[in-house]
Amino acid sequence: MAAQNALTSSNLVLTGLTARDKEDATRQLAELLVADGRVTEIEGFLEDVRAREEQMKTGLPFGIGIPHARSEFVTVPSVAIGLSPEGVDFGAEDGPATLIFLIAAPAGADDHHLHILAALARKLVREEFRAELRDASSADEVVSIIEREVHV
């Protein structure tokens, strides 16, 4: 198991995410953050994510969804990752997201979550990186790819 201060761990990855909509997908990933002790109260955290989503859609081109929020309910900067074979609509013009990254940052934190977003975005523009994540056969493999490629 990864150290608590690691950005993500295999406990925070759903490789076969099936969701009705973006709220369901976000809740499933948030539940992983709660179970891992990284989020203290799921409803409050999800409200913060919803408020952020209302400001701007978090669906990006190439099948990527990046719901995120700063929240008083987050104990350590974290990323929960969902791989959704069917895809989930996060509002991107080119279709549903098959790679979903729920980024959680403590409310009092600096702009660490922006650094996480920027580091992920730099890698996600590369088709090879997206394909490697989509083809991962286990949570451990997803974490290994992220740790190798995303440096914050």
Catalytic sites, residue numbers: 68
Give the C-alpha separation, 17 to 98, whole Å. Answer: 9
- Would you tell me how many other CB atoms lie within 10 Å of the CB of residue 65? 27
Identify whether the C-beta of residue 1 lies closer than 8 Å to the C-beta of residue 11. Answer: yes
CA angle 44, 115, 39 (to 5 degrees): 25
